[in-house]
Chain A
C-alpha cells in the first residue's frame, strides 16, 4: 500500500501546486480589476463634481471581459440610490488617473437595479440602444400608472 500512498501524495502535491497557482493568479487578477475600479470611481467623481463614496459599479453590461464599466451614484446628497442617479459608461486607457466617459443615463430615485426600462436621459455615443425608445418608455409609463402591467 506504500506505493499507492506515494502516488496519492504526488497527486496531492501537484493538485496543491495547481490550486496555489490559480489562487495567486486570481488575487493578482482581482487586484488589477480593483485598480481599474478605483480609476472608474475617480472618473465618476471628477465628471460629476460629487465626492460621493456610495457608488455602484456594473462590470457585465458591456461584456464580462470588456473592461468597460458603468458607475452609478446619486446626483444629490442622500442615502445610496435614494436620489436620482447618474450612470456613466467608462472605459479606455488611464490618463492622469482617470478613464474616458463614453456616455451615460439617469435612473429615477429608489431604483435598486439598473434595468433598461428604468433609464432615461441617455447621452453620449453609447446611448444608442441603452435607453428605452420613446414608445417603450410610454408603455412603461402606462403600465406603471394604470396598474395593469404584467
Chain B
C-alpha cells in the first residue's frame, strides 16, 4: 500500500525551517569571522592593523594571535560566502516579526563588535583627526597644509606615510564637524571618530529600512544586504571611514523625496557632497526625475549657506572641492580595475591617457543614465549605477568606495544593480587573495 504523499503545507513548513536554520548558521559564521578579526587585530603589530594608540586593550586580554593575512583572508572569504548564502536564502522572504528581530540583532552585534575593536586596515581616520587637530589645536588650515605641518603632535606618528604632505580632500562640512573631536586628544578623538562612524552607520541602516518599506520592498533583506556586508562592517566601519556619513546623508535625501520634501532632499545631497564630493552625482538624477524646482532651490540654498560657512572658516581653499577631486583622481591604487585591466593588456600600469579615456567613459555612462531617467527609469537606481561606475572607472579604488551604491541598490526594483554591486565587491575580495597562494614572510 503506497504511503500518502505529505501535505504540501507541511513540506513547505519544513523547507522554511531549514531555510531559517541555514540563515542562522550564516549569521553565526558572520559573527565568528568578525570576532576573529577583531580579537586578532587587538593584538596589534599586524600589517592589517595601522599603528594606533591602545584603544582595545581589554579585547587584547581576551586572547587571540597577531592578525596575519592568512587568517584575515580566510575570515573575510568565510564571511563573504555566509553573506552571499544569507542573501540568497532571504531573497524572496516575506516580512515577519521574529526574522526582523533576528536580522536587527545580527546587524547590531556586528556593528558593536567592530566598534569596540581597534582601527582596521586603513590609516585614514588618523588623517581625519590630524586635520581636525591642525585647525583646533594648532590654528593651521588643513586645506593648505598636510599633517607634516604638525610634526610634534601625537597624531602625526599615526598618519599614513603617503598622506603626510597632502592637504584635506574632504568638504568643509566634514572638516567642521570633525573639529570638536580634535580638542579631545588623541584617544578621545579616535573614539569620537569611531562614534561618528557608528552613528552614521546606524542612520544609514535605519533609513535603508525605512526607504525599503516605503518603496514597497521587504525590509529584512535590505537591512542585511547593507548591515551584514563584510566590506561595510570590516572595512567601512572598522576603519571609521567618513564615507558612512556621506551614505547617511545620501539615504536621508532619498527618504526626503519619499515624503515629497524635495528641497530638503536637494539640501541633503549638497551637505553630503560637502562631506565627500562623490554623492553630488545624485542631484541631476533627482532633479530630472522629480521634475520639480524645489530640489534645485534646496540644493542651491544649502550650497550657498555651506559655501559661505566654509569660506568664513577656511577661505577660498575650503570651498574649492574641484581641485581636491582633480588631485585625487590622478592617484592609482593596486586594487583599481583600470590598473588590473592595464596589467591584463600587458601594460605596467595606468598612463595619463587612460585617465582621460576613463573620464570620457564615465561621462558617457552618466549621460546614458540621465537619458534613461528622463524616460522614466528609477532615479535612485540610476544614481546607484552612476556611483558604481565612478568606483569601477576610478584609478584610486579602496574597499569602502564600492560601498557607495549598496544602500541604493537594495531599495530599487532593478536587481541588476545589486547583482553588479555585489559582483564588483566579490572581485575586490578575490583580488586580495594572492597572499593565500604565496604568503610572503
Contacts and interface: CB of A to CB of B under 8 A. Distances in A.
Interface of A: 1, 4, 8-9, 12, 16, 18-27, 29-32, 34-35, 37-38, 41, 53, 64-65
Interface in B199-214: none
Contact of A38 (B348, B375, B438): B438
Contact of B416 (A12, A31, A53): A12
Contacts of B340: 19, 22-23, 25-26
A26 B427 CA distance: 11
Interface stretch (B15-23, B274-282, B302-310, B429-437): B429-437
B438 A19 contact: no
Given A37-B440, A53-B441, A19 B430 contact: no
Contacts of A21: 344
Interface string B333-352: 00001011101100011000
A105 to B, nearest CB: 22
Interface in B344-388: 344, 348-349, 372, 375-376
A12 B420 contact: yes
Given A19-B427, A22-B337, A26-B431, A34 B344 contact: no
A40 to B, nearest CB: 9
B331 interface: no
A55 to B, nearest CB: 9
Nearest to B376: A1
Q: How large is the interface on B (under 10, 10 to 19, 20 to 34, 35 or more residues)?
A: 20 to 34
Nearest to B435: A34
A20 B343 contact: no
Contacts of A9: 416
Given A1-B375, A27-B430, A34-B435, A22 B416 contact: no
B104 interface: no
A34 B437 contact: yes
B313 interface: no
Contacts of B341: 18-19, 22
B433 A27 contact: yes
Contacts, number: 64
Nearest to A4: B372
A26 B349 contact: no
Contacts of A24: 430
B438 A23 contact: no
A27 B441 contact: no
B427 A20 contact: yes
A26 B343 contact: yes
A22 B337 CA distance: 8
Contacts of A16: 420, 423
A34 B255 CA distance: 47
Given A9-B416, A22-B337, 17 more contacts: A1-B376, A16-B423, A18-B341, A19-B392, A22-B343, A23-B431, A25-B343, A26-B431, A31-B438, A34-B434, A34-B435, A35-B438, A37-B440, A38-B439, A38-B440, A41-B440, A64-B349
Nearest to A20: B427
A34 B69 CA distance: 13
B183 interface: no
A29 B375 contact: no
Contacts of A18: 341
Nearest to B337: A19
B85 interface: no
Nearest to A8: B416
B332 interface: no
A41 B340 CA distance: 26
A22 B439 contact: no
B398 interface: no
Interface in B382-437: 392, 416, 420, 423-424, 427, 430-431, 433-435, 437
A112 B376 CA distance: 57
Contact of B434 (A8, A12, A22, A30): A30
Nearest to B371: A4
A4 to B, nearest CB: 7
A32 to B, nearest CB: 8
Interface in B260-315: none
Contacts of A37: 440
For the complex of A and B, 8 pairs with smallest distance between CB atoms: A34-B438, A30-B434, A22-B340, A22-B344, A31-B437, A26-B340, A23-B427, A31-B434
B410 to A, nearest CB: 18
Nearest to A15: B392
Contacts of B344: 21-22, 25-26
A68 B267 CA distance: 54
B157 to A, nearest CB: 13
